[in-house]
Chains A and B, each alone.
Chain A
Amino acid sequence: MNGPWVEKYRPQTLDDIVGQDHIVKRLEKYVDEESMPNLMFTGPAGVGKTTTALALVKLILGEYWRQNFLELNASDARGIETVRNDIKNFCRLKPVGTPFRIVFLDEVDNMTKDAQHALRREMEMYTKTATFILSCNYSSKIIDPIQSRCAIFRFTPIKGQDILKRLEKIAKNENYEYDTEALETIVYFAEGDMRKSINMLQSAASEGEKITNDAVYDVVSKARPEDINSMITKALSGDFMGARTLLRENMVLHGTSGEDMVTQIYQDISKRVMDEKMDGKIYMDLMEYLADCDFRIREGANPRIQLEALLTKFL
């Protein structure tokens, strides 16, 4: 079985994790002491939160990690009741061969506040048998009572150098030749996101024998739908209805998340100003609106509505 490279090259041990040294050091202490508090991993996508949690669990629970470990993704449609039931059923059982059991609840910031309050009660009820690891993108979306019950680890975007080294290693291991420039381009576009970097690498590799800068740029333009570009062009030229339709197609049909839309819009107008196709002042105005939109989405507003409002600013 050959999964995509992101999965194939997921670090299996803590010391293989790149660029989060201070966190790893701290976690290794927990392993030595054989005890740990509830943990919360926060940080942007693709920087190793899930990877770290999985590696830590295997290390600290040792041979019996499988029986003592429950992994759930909080964000999916299963419904909070199922999630809670799973947690309850799991936590009711005693640890087998280990001092405690671990519940890993991934992407918790997608849980409603009500669900989070319920979760907090569960965390309290089973303190004797189970330890929780939570992960999220924004700790601000997590209710205070949960935050105060966790040791919080803030993951940072991975440094360009570290990503570059990793990409080189993977390319070598897969027997691909590459231009260093190509890998640098990937690093630039990935913005500290290792998952994205590796996905781009494999995409570029699938196009030929050698990973070239051209191949990478090809991937960048293909993976960023044309739609975003024409959406912005439409809005800038005054066609709000047209732009709004493209936005909805992207978000409803392709399922692009609000955050991704914001990133892609940012990249698109950045490119326009870099190519000197957009006036600096206009760029700065738009940037301010975009930042505002970004902020409101993080504050819990409806991403599509906020982005529609953003598009009117382009008119």
Chain B
Amino acid sequence: MLWTEKYRPKTLNEVLGNGKQKKEIETWVSSWKNKIPQKPLLLVGPPGIGKTTLAHIIAKEFSEYIELNASDKRSYDIIMNTVGESSTTRSFFNDDYKLIILDEVDGIHGNDDRGGARAIGQIIDKSKHPLILIANDFYSKRIATIKNKSQVVKMQKVHTNSLNAFLKKIAHNEGIKADPVAIKELAKRSTGDVRSAINTFEVIADEKKTFEMEDLDIISKKDDRLTIFDSLRTVLKSKTPKKVKDAMFIEEDPTLIMEYIAENIPREYEKKNEIKKAYENISKADLYFGRARNSRNYGYWKYASDFMGIGVSLSKKDTYKKFTKLTSPTSFSYLSKTRGKRNLRDKIAEKMSKKLHISHSVAISMFPYFEIIFENDEDAYDISDFLELDDDEIKRFRKKKIPKKVINAKEKEKIKNREEKKKIEIEKGIYIKKKQDTSTKTKKSPDTTQVKPEEKTKKDLKSQNEKNTKKTGKEKKKELLKDINEKNTKKAEENPKKEKLKDRKKTEDNAQKSLFNF
């Protein structure tokens, strides 16, 4: 018999860990026994910690039970036929409850299970029988609605110490001469997964009846590719250059390894000086990565590797005798956590980039100013109108909506201004025609102005060009600008402050909306 079966707990007491959770489950069971119906029980937690085992132990408390798990075909019909019925119709002869166990409900997927999650929802709604649901991933979408309808019991990983003791008991029972340090290490490496610890132990020790550290190495070296965490651990824990250099030989993007090391420096090293020194090495490594990228001379990588490997490892005075939880770079998880906000940011930046002739990063550097300027209703309207921002984008800069009153007034103004401008443009058009006797161009789209100069001779082209740039181009524009500027300043002088808003509107139009605006 497999050890996992052989040592499967038969009573609640034998189940390792999760004391509080077990109490909660017991209460749930006794309520049913007292004929007080309860919400379904949803056991959630990582694999190998005893969820299924617990369900089976509970099942013994009821007269009958039905179980389904992910390997069954869980189409809508199957679930309704096997479980649905029995859950609504209670036995006529006795009113003993039937326990229904649905294992790995977050594993329902694929076409066959279309409706599976819905079926479970219906079972929960209709069921008059006790129901236990089991899932691995608390955040799985598939159990989102189920969570709301159940009593959720979050199961934790089994603690290393309990696992250690349990493995010792098995060793004793099986007559295995085991090195306690090795057992402790196995317990640690299993990261709370009892099932995998027992399996590993059986594979190594069942035949030869001994168990030592080297055995563990064989097991973990089966997959002899070092993981990024192995390298990381060596860099932080060792002070032996040879070991560290070896550990750096892994198939990973070296800049990613650098991120991992940098992330964990302050988690392992405690003295300020050590952190300083270590980070100085990271900084140098990064510099050489940059140089490699820029010069496309990847020979620089070897220096980077030594800085972040040996350099960081020697930055500590002594190695720390402690367990440090090493993590992957949080700046990456930060990236995914903030995706929504960053998408919005980038959408705005793209709009600004187009209209203001700037890159995304320059655009983003203007955000703090926009946050201030947008507090003013009119400015907020003007700028978002100019940039064509939608409501969500406006909300990035101000919490309140722009008041309807302001919007209406502004829109009216816009129409009026447009008409006025048309008038002015017509006047100007005539004015220029008289003076220069060339055709004027008023804001035509590039295609319509595609006059066919190719047909002209080169000479023609040149003389025409002379006209355009020397007189028409340069001078004409200067004159017009002067004209406009004079108008503006005059108006500014004439108008008292009171009429500021209205006035601002006009000067804005005149300052820019000339013939040669972008």
Contact = CB atoms under 8 A, between A and B. Distances in A.
B465 to A, nearest CB: 7
Given A206-B375, A241-B266, A301-B287, A113 B364 contact: no
Interface in B459-518: 461, 464-465, 468-469, 472-474, 477-478, 481, 488-489, 492, 495, 497, 500, 503-505, 507-508, 511-514, 516-518
Interface centre among B349, B382, B474 (most CB of A within 10 A): B474
Interface stretch (B80-88, B110-118, B136-144, B328-336): B328-336
A58 B503 CA distance: 29
B260 interface: no
Interface stretch (B147-155, B235-243, B272-280): B272-280
Contacts of A112: 293
A113 B262 CA distance: 27
Contact of B275 (A3, A75, A256, A315): A315
B450 A312 contact: no
A59 B465 CA distance: 11
B430 to A, nearest CB: 18
Interface stretch (B70-78, B119-127, B351-359): B351-359
Contacts, number: 244
Contact of B505 (A2, A50, A63): A2
B296 A2 contact: no
A12 to B, nearest CB: 7
B279 A175 contact: no
Given A64-B468, A241-B266, A173 B488 contact: yes
Contacts of A45: 362
Interface string B285-312: 0110111011110000000000000000
B441 interface: yes
B286 A302 contact: yes
B465 A97 contact: yes
B385 interface: yes
A266 to B, nearest CB: 15
B319 interface: no
A115 B282 CA distance: 28
A98 interface: yes
Contact of B464 (A67, A97, A255, A260): A97
Contact of B508 (A2, A207, A241, A296): A2
B367 interface: yes
Interface residues of B, number: 95
Contacts of B287: 296, 299, 301, 306
Given A223-B368, A300-B291, A114 B355 contact: no
A292 B451 CA distance: 56
Interface string B317-341: 0000000000000110011001001
A59 B474 contact: yes
Given A110-B359, A238-B272, A255-B342, A67 B469 contact: no
Contact of B296 (A3, A73, A113, A302): A113
Given A63-B472, A255-B364, A173 B489 contact: yes
A309 B281 CA distance: 9
A257 B481 contact: no
Interface string B358-370: 1111101111111
A302 B290 contact: yes
A34 interface: yes
Nearest to B335: A252
Given A222-B368, A255-B361, A3 B383 contact: yes
Nearest to A73: B359
Contacts of B5: none
Contact of A309 (B279, B362, B465): B279
A86 interface: no
B497 to A, nearest CB: 6
Contacts of B477: 12-13, 58-59
Nearest to A263: B365
B431 interface: no
A273 interface: no
Contacts of A202: 369, 373, 379
Interface in A207-256: 207, 209, 219, 222-225, 238, 240-241, 244-245, 248-249, 252-256
A97 B516 CA distance: 17
B372 A106 contact: no
B386 A96 contact: no
A300 B364 contact: no
Contacts of A6: 356, 366
B283 interface: yes
A224 to B, nearest CB: 8
A97 B338 contact: no
Contact of B342 (A7, A98, A224, A253): A253
A245 B387 CA distance: 33
Contacts of A175: 492, 495, 497, 500, 503-504
B376 interface: yes
A206 B497 contact: no
A63 B372 CA distance: 39
Nearest to B462: A99
A211 B353 CA distance: 28
B279 A308 contact: yes
Contacts of A64: 449, 451, 453, 468
Contacts of B492: 172-173, 175
A34 B466 CA distance: 9
Interface centre among B279, B334, B464 (most CB of A within 10 A): B279
Given A206-B372, A301-B283, A256 B469 contact: no
B518 to A, nearest CB: 7
Contacts of B355: 3, 7
Nearest to B334: A252
B258 interface: yes
Contacts of A300: 290-291, 293-294
Contacts of B330: 245, 248
A77 B469 CA distance: 36
A3 B359 CA distance: 17
A149 interface: no
Nearest to A223: B368
Interface string A1-22: 1111011110011011000000
B357 A50 contact: yes
B296 A174 contact: no
Contacts of A118: none
Contact of B282 (A7, A58, A254, A305): A305
Nearest to B504: A174
Nearest to B272: A315
Contact of B461 (A97, A207, A248, A296): A97
Nearest to A310: B283
A66 interface: yes
A59 B371 contact: no
B281 to A, nearest CB: 9
Given A59-B474, A223-B368, A248-B334, 12 more contacts: A3-B512, A12-B516, A62-B469, A67-B446, A97-B468, A172-B489, A175-B497, A207-B375, A252-B342, A257-B361, A300-B291, A312-B272
Nearest first, the 3 closest Cβ-Cβ pairs linking A and B are: A300-B290, A62-B468, A62-B473
18 contacts: A2-B383, A66-B446, A67-B449, A73-B353, A97-B468, A173-B489, A174-B504, A175-B503, A206-B376, A240-B275, A296-B286, A301-B286, A301-B290, A306-B286, A308-B262, A312-B275, A315-B272, A315-B276
